Protein backbone atom coordinates (compact mmCIF):
# COMPACT_ATOMS: atom_id res chain seq x y z
CA UNK A 1 0.00 0.00 0.00
CA UNK A 2 1.33 3.42 -0.91
CA UNK A 3 1.96 5.72 1.99
CA UNK A 4 2.55 9.40 2.23
CA UNK A 5 6.02 9.09 3.76
CA UNK A 6 7.25 6.89 0.89
CA UNK A 7 6.21 9.41 -1.70
CA UNK A 8 7.43 12.45 0.19
CA UNK A 9 6.82 15.84 -1.34
CA UNK A 10 7.65 14.95 -4.92
CA UNK A 11 6.47 17.62 -7.28
CA UNK A 12 5.64 20.11 -4.53
CA UNK A 13 7.60 22.89 -6.27
CA UNK A 14 5.80 22.12 -9.53
CA UNK A 15 2.50 22.11 -7.66
CA UNK A 16 3.33 25.48 -6.06
CA UNK A 17 4.11 26.99 -9.47
CA UNK A 18 0.85 25.68 -10.94
CA UNK A 19 -1.14 26.86 -7.91
CA UNK A 20 0.33 30.36 -8.26
CA UNK A 21 -0.43 30.35 -11.97
CA UNK A 22 -4.02 29.33 -11.23
CA UNK A 23 -4.32 32.16 -8.68
CA UNK A 24 -3.11 34.61 -11.32
CA UNK A 25 -5.60 33.24 -13.87
CA UNK A 26 -8.40 33.58 -11.28
CA UNK A 27 -7.41 37.17 -10.41
CA UNK A 28 -7.43 37.99 -14.14
CA UNK A 29 -10.85 36.38 -14.61
CA UNK A 30 -9.45 33.88 -17.10
CA UNK A 31 -10.01 30.57 -15.30
CA UNK A 32 -11.15 28.86 -12.13
CA UNK A 33 -8.93 25.82 -11.57
CA UNK A 34 -8.72 23.98 -8.26
CA UNK A 35 -6.23 21.49 -6.90
CA UNK A 36 -7.94 18.22 -6.05
CA UNK A 37 -6.62 16.96 -2.70
CA UNK A 38 -5.98 13.25 -2.35
CA UNK A 39 -7.81 11.97 0.74
CA UNK A 40 -5.44 10.44 3.29
CA UNK A 41 -5.85 8.63 6.58
CA UNK A 42 -3.16 9.51 9.14
CA UNK A 43 -1.35 6.58 10.76
CA UNK A 44 1.31 8.39 12.79
CA UNK A 45 1.15 11.95 14.08
CA UNK A 46 4.08 13.66 15.81
CA UNK A 47 2.40 14.89 18.99
CA UNK A 48 4.93 17.66 19.56
CA UNK A 49 4.59 19.29 16.15
CA UNK A 50 1.11 17.91 15.26
CA UNK A 51 2.48 16.92 11.85
CA UNK A 52 1.39 13.78 10.07
CA UNK A 53 4.47 11.60 9.69
CA UNK A 54 2.82 8.54 8.10
CA UNK A 55 -0.48 8.16 6.27
CA UNK A 56 -2.08 6.03 3.61
CA UNK A 57 -4.17 7.10 0.67
CA UNK A 58 -7.87 6.34 1.18
CA UNK A 59 -8.73 6.04 -2.50
CA UNK A 60 -7.21 6.36 -5.92
CA UNK A 61 -6.90 9.93 -7.11
CA UNK A 62 -8.14 10.97 -10.52
CA UNK A 63 -6.38 14.14 -11.65
CA UNK A 64 -4.46 16.88 -9.89
CA UNK A 65 -6.54 19.84 -11.13
CA UNK A 66 -10.06 20.45 -12.38
CA UNK A 67 -12.04 23.54 -13.27
CA UNK A 68 -13.22 25.79 -16.07
CA UNK A 69 -11.50 28.13 -18.51
CA UNK A 70 -13.86 30.64 -20.09
CA UNK A 71 -16.73 28.16 -19.72
CA UNK A 72 -14.76 25.15 -20.95
CA UNK A 73 -14.38 22.30 -18.42
CA UNK A 74 -10.73 21.25 -18.03
CA UNK A 75 -8.85 18.69 -16.01
CA UNK A 76 -5.16 17.96 -15.94
CA UNK A 77 -2.47 16.11 -14.15
CA UNK A 78 1.00 17.54 -13.48
CA UNK A 79 4.12 15.40 -13.63
CA UNK A 80 7.81 16.10 -13.22
CA UNK A 81 10.47 14.32 -15.24
CA UNK A 82 14.23 14.61 -14.66
CA UNK A 83 15.28 12.93 -17.92
CA UNK A 84 14.19 12.88 -21.58
CA UNK A 85 12.23 9.63 -21.16
CA UNK A 86 8.83 9.78 -19.47
CA UNK A 87 7.81 6.44 -17.96
CA UNK A 88 4.11 5.70 -18.46
CA UNK A 89 4.07 3.85 -15.13
CA UNK A 90 3.75 7.35 -13.61
CA UNK A 91 0.17 7.42 -14.92
CA UNK A 92 -2.44 4.98 -13.69
CA UNK A 93 -5.22 3.26 -15.60
CA UNK A 94 -7.97 4.86 -13.47
CA UNK A 95 -6.56 8.32 -14.29
CA UNK A 96 -6.60 7.59 -18.01
CA UNK A 97 -10.17 6.27 -17.72
CA UNK A 98 -11.27 9.41 -15.86
CA UNK A 99 -9.67 11.71 -18.43
CA UNK A 100 -11.21 9.74 -21.27
CA UNK A 101 -14.67 10.01 -19.70
CA UNK A 102 -14.08 13.71 -19.01
CA UNK A 103 -13.38 14.34 -22.68
CA UNK A 104 -16.44 12.30 -23.72
CA UNK A 105 -18.48 14.76 -21.63
CA UNK A 106 -17.11 17.69 -23.63
CA UNK A 107 -14.23 18.61 -21.35
CA UNK A 108 -10.56 19.01 -22.18
CA UNK A 109 -8.02 16.76 -20.47
CA UNK A 110 -4.26 17.17 -20.66
CA UNK A 111 -0.97 16.69 -18.84
CA UNK A 112 1.51 19.34 -17.82
CA UNK A 113 4.97 17.81 -17.74
CA UNK A 114 7.92 19.66 -16.28
CA UNK A 115 11.19 18.40 -17.76
CA UNK A 116 13.25 19.69 -14.83
CA UNK A 117 16.67 19.05 -16.37
CA UNK A 118 15.64 21.24 -19.32
CA UNK A 119 13.71 23.77 -17.20
CA UNK A 120 10.90 23.21 -19.69
CA UNK A 121 7.14 22.87 -19.30
CA UNK A 122 5.24 20.81 -21.82
CA UNK A 123 1.50 20.68 -22.54
CA UNK A 124 0.56 17.14 -23.57
CA UNK A 125 -2.95 16.89 -25.06
CA UNK A 126 -4.80 13.81 -23.87
CA UNK A 127 -5.26 12.54 -27.43
CA UNK A 128 -1.49 12.52 -28.00
CA UNK A 129 -0.89 10.92 -24.60
CA UNK A 130 -3.39 8.23 -25.55
CA UNK A 131 -1.27 7.29 -28.57
CA UNK A 132 1.68 6.55 -26.24
CA UNK A 133 -0.61 4.75 -23.76
CA UNK A 134 -2.13 2.49 -26.44
CA UNK A 135 1.30 1.79 -27.93
CA UNK A 136 2.46 0.52 -24.52
CA UNK A 137 -0.68 -1.58 -24.04
CA UNK A 138 -0.01 -3.25 -27.40
CA UNK A 139 3.46 -4.31 -26.24
CA UNK A 140 5.40 -1.26 -27.41
CA UNK A 141 7.66 1.05 -25.47
CA UNK A 142 6.47 1.72 -21.89
CA UNK A 143 7.63 5.32 -22.10
CA UNK A 144 7.88 8.16 -24.55
CA UNK A 145 10.86 10.27 -25.43
CA UNK A 146 11.07 14.05 -25.34
CA UNK A 147 12.05 13.96 -29.02
CA UNK A 148 8.72 12.27 -29.86
CA UNK A 149 6.80 15.31 -28.60
CA UNK A 150 5.60 18.16 -30.79
CA UNK A 151 7.85 21.14 -29.92
CA UNK A 152 4.93 23.51 -30.62
CA UNK A 153 3.45 22.46 -27.25
CA UNK A 154 6.42 23.62 -25.18
CA UNK A 155 5.13 26.35 -22.89
CA UNK A 156 6.70 29.72 -23.61
CA UNK A 157 8.36 31.67 -20.81
CA UNK A 158 6.04 34.49 -19.81
CA UNK A 159 6.55 37.32 -17.40
CA UNK A 160 4.23 37.09 -14.39
CA UNK A 161 2.97 33.54 -15.01
CA UNK A 162 4.95 30.53 -13.82
CA UNK A 163 3.26 27.86 -15.97
CA UNK A 164 1.44 29.65 -18.83
CA UNK A 165 -0.66 26.76 -20.07
CA UNK A 166 -3.68 28.72 -21.36
CA UNK A 167 -1.99 29.50 -24.70
CA UNK A 168 -1.41 25.80 -25.30
CA UNK A 169 -4.94 24.97 -24.19
CA UNK A 170 -6.16 27.41 -26.81
CA UNK A 171 -3.91 25.74 -29.43
CA UNK A 172 -5.24 22.32 -28.39
CA UNK A 173 -8.84 23.53 -28.79
CA UNK A 174 -8.09 25.09 -32.15
CA UNK A 175 -6.53 21.87 -33.47
CA UNK A 176 -9.44 19.62 -32.46
Q: Which segments are annotated as binding site?
A: 62, 64, 77, 95
Domain CATH for 56: 3.40.1350.10
Rounded distance between C-alpha atoms, residue 61 and residue 63, angstroms: 6
Q: For residue 74, give its domain range.
A: 4-175
pLDDT of residue 47: 79
Rounded distance between C-alpha atoms, residue 137 and residue 43, angstroms: 36
The pTM for the full model equals 0.84
pLDDT of residue 12: 72
Judged by DSSP in three states, 30 sits in coil
Per-position pLDDT tens, the chain of length 176: 344 344 443 447 889 999 999 999 999 999 999 998 776 666 677 778 877 676 555 556 789 999 999 999 999 999 999 999 999 999 999 999 999 999 999 999 999 999 999 999 999 999 999 999 999 999 999 999 999 999 999 999 888 889 999 999 999 999 99
The total number of structural domains that make up the chain: 1
Q: What is the pLDDT of residues 119-141, one digit of tens each?
A: 999 999 999 999 999 999 999 99
Q: Which segments are annotated as binding site for Mg(2+)?
A: 62, 64, 77, 95
- Give phi and psi for 84, each to the nearest 5: -90, 10
pLDDT of residue 9: 38
Interacting residues of 42 by C-beta distance below 8 A, sequence separation 6+: 52, 54, 55
| 108-115 and 72-81 strand pairing | parallel
Amino acid sequence: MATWSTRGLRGSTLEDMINRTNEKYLESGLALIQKIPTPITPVNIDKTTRHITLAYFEQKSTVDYIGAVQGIPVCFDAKECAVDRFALQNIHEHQVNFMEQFEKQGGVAFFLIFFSHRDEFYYLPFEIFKFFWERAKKGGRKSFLHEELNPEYILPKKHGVFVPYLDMLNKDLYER
